[in-house]
Amino acid sequence: MNVYVPNDACARAVGADRVAEALAKQPGVTVVRTSSRGAFFLEPLVEIDTPSGRAAYTNVDAKQAGGLLKKKPTPLSEIPFLAKQTRFTFANAGVTEPLSLEQYGFKALEKARGLDPQKIVDEVKTANLRGRGGAAFPVGVKWQTTKDTAADRKYVVANADEGDPGTYSDRMILEGDPYRLIEGMAICAHAVGAKQGYVYVRSEYPAGIRKLRAAIGHALEAGLLGPESFELKVAVGAGAYICGEETSLLESLEGKRGLVRPKPPFPAIQGLWQKPTVINNVVSFATIPDIISRGGAWHASIGTATSKGTMPLQLAGAIRQGGLVEVPFGISLEEAIYDFGGGLPKGSKFKAVQVGGPLGSIFPEALLKTKICFDDFIKNGGILGHGGIVVYDQRTDMVALARHLMQFTADESCGKCTPCRVGSTRAKEILDVILKGEGTEADLALLEELGDTMKSTSLCALGGLAPEPVRTAIQYFGKEFRRK
């Protein structure tokens, strides 16, 4: 019998390899290595086939392997965390073997290559797909711009520099369904007239890099990629958060310091080596195959008025059931944290939640009714960003957290804009003073002024948005910043 064991880096970090090894020694067992479904709190999650679909053994220890399969497994339909999700982009996660071409199929690419390029761009526009990397820019607009720009060479680049702390959806695609990314990029290449592409992956994801390289190799052998159609290469980052910003990423791809470029010109017109370049996030590209197979109208029928489709939320921090939750836009932050996340662990009480990573906002309990969609977050003074949701409990010192966030910005600023480069360090120093209980109202006023200067005079979103979590922390937890 087939026994499915995840081969995902996080599942392996809690012992999936030892479990796989122990199970392989059982008579009659064939171990099949899948990736993770994203229910990380249940890993290692071992599955078997039953007449009514897959059923699972949760939190398996290698020592239990002997008697495990005699026990009654839990049908996946009885695990609410998974059963209540709407899986499209992550449909294969934990189900298929990530490198099996046969299981993946590449049907959407076959269809797309038979279509007129403009028809593909139109489908993406109809789908109203907004970029999942954080900026939520309409994907179809980027594609149309690059398509309409005449050039001897064009590029398609996937941004897999998933630097926002608290996010891991790109990592799960790289490790769990790399062909979906490759297919999305190849469809884009056909649509805009590009023959070359790059996936820029952060170095912190070695397992994802290996999987992606192997997948590209298989796709090349199978004739799905190639110099005549689309040549795809992997570039590995070098530990700089700023290289997740699209123009910094392009500089880094060219081998330079990752300094951001002023916009315009936009990458869609002058990108990599000054050539028209579509640059999208991994999840954005991974959504494309379904849009081509099912149609743009299908995608546009899911979600809220201006946030279409599904969003992979990544639950993290002080949460009982941490993991990836793919749901249509429109559920509340509260539902995400309590219905899917199961609330906070024993002994922990909710204090705040950070959504949108280091460029997002710190929300108090009063804002938990906020709907998960781009506009509601903006309305409430935040951003949904890349969908990272980090929960903090009652023990969190908000001043220390604010200081940490400014330290992060100081470490990761590319240095091009003075307000971001110097301002982040000065803000950190002010927060040090407040942390010691020596702060005054003048310090808080200065902090706000610094933040305003960074926001209005920085070229990119790092300088422009990094003051936000600190500003919102002061707005909602002001008392802590007035400690003596």
| 373 versus 410: smaller Cβ distance to other proteins | 410
CA distances from 422 to 239, 254, 259, 298, 404 (A): 21, 26, 15, 47, 16
| 117 versus 178: smaller Cβ distance to other proteins | 178
What is d(CA 174, CA 363) in angstroms, rounded to the nearest whole number? 30
DSSP assignment letter at 6: E
Q: Which residue has the tokens 């002001």?
A: 478
Residue 420: CB minimum distance to other proteins, A: 15
Pairing of strands 196-201, 53-57: unpaired
| 127 versus 216: smaller Cβ distance to other proteins | 216
What is d(CA 176, CA 94) in angstroms, rounded to the nearest whole number? 7
Dihedral in degrees, nearest 10, Cα atoms 18, 318, 357, 439 = -140
Residue 143: CB minimum distance to other proteins, A: 27
Q: Which amino acid is at 436?
A: K
What is d(CA 16, CA 36) in angstroms, rounded to the nearest whole number? 10
Helix (H) or strand (E) holding 300, with range, is helix 296-300
| 139 versus 384: smaller Cβ distance to other proteins | 384
| 183 versus 251: smaller Cβ distance to other proteins | 251
Give, in degrees to the nearest 5, the angle at Cα 92 between 75 and 354. 90
| 99 versus 236: smaller Cβ distance to other proteins | 236
Structure-block tokens of residue 455: 């926001």
| 129 versus 234: smaller Cβ distance to other proteins | 234
For residue 389, give the 3-state DSSP assignment. strand
Instruction: Give every CB contact of residue 27 below 8 A, 6+ residues apart in sequence.
Output: none
| 357 versus 382: smaller Cβ distance to other proteins | 357
Q: What length does the chain have?
A: 484
Residue 102: CB minimum distance to other proteins, A: 28
Give, in degrees to the nearest 5, the angle at Cα 149 between 143 and 153. 95
| 98 versus 296: smaller Cβ distance to other proteins | 98
Structure-block tokens of residue 98: 């990530």
Interaction site with other proteins (CB under 8 A): 9-10, 12-14, 40-41, 43, 162-168, 171, 203-207, 235-241, 252, 254-258, 314-319, 322-324, 354, 357-358, 388, 390-393, 395-396, 401, 404-405, 408, 411-412, 414
CA distances from 202 to 71, 242, 243, 380 (A): 41, 11, 9, 31
What is d(CA 29, CA 23) in angstroms, rounded to the nearest whole number? 7
Q: Which amino acid is at 50?
A: T
DSSP assignment letter at 72: P
**Are 290 and 88 within 8 A, CB to CB?**
yes
Residue 2: CB minimum distance to other proteins, A: 26
CA distances from 213 to 149, 179, 208, 220, 288 (A): 30, 11, 9, 11, 21
Residue 220: CB minimum distance to other proteins, A: 19
Residue 166: CB minimum distance to other proteins, A: 5
| 273 versus 483: smaller Cβ distance to other proteins | 273
What is d(CA 24, CA 172) in angstroms, rounded to the nearest whole number? 25
CA distances from 451 to 47, 337, 394, 430 (A): 50, 29, 26, 12
Residue 460: CB minimum distance to other proteins, A: 16
Residue 130: CB minimum distance to other proteins, A: 23
Residue 317: CB minimum distance to other proteins, A: 3
Instruction: Give every CB contact of residue 480 below 8 A, 6+ residues apart in sequence.
Output: 397, 398, 399
Residue 332: CB minimum distance to other proteins, A: 20
| 164 versus 376: smaller Cβ distance to other proteins | 164
Residue 403: CB minimum distance to other proteins, A: 11
Residue 171: CB minimum distance to other proteins, A: 4
| 235 versus 302: smaller Cβ distance to other proteins | 235
What is d(CA 185, CA 167) in angstroms, rounded to the nearest whole number? 22
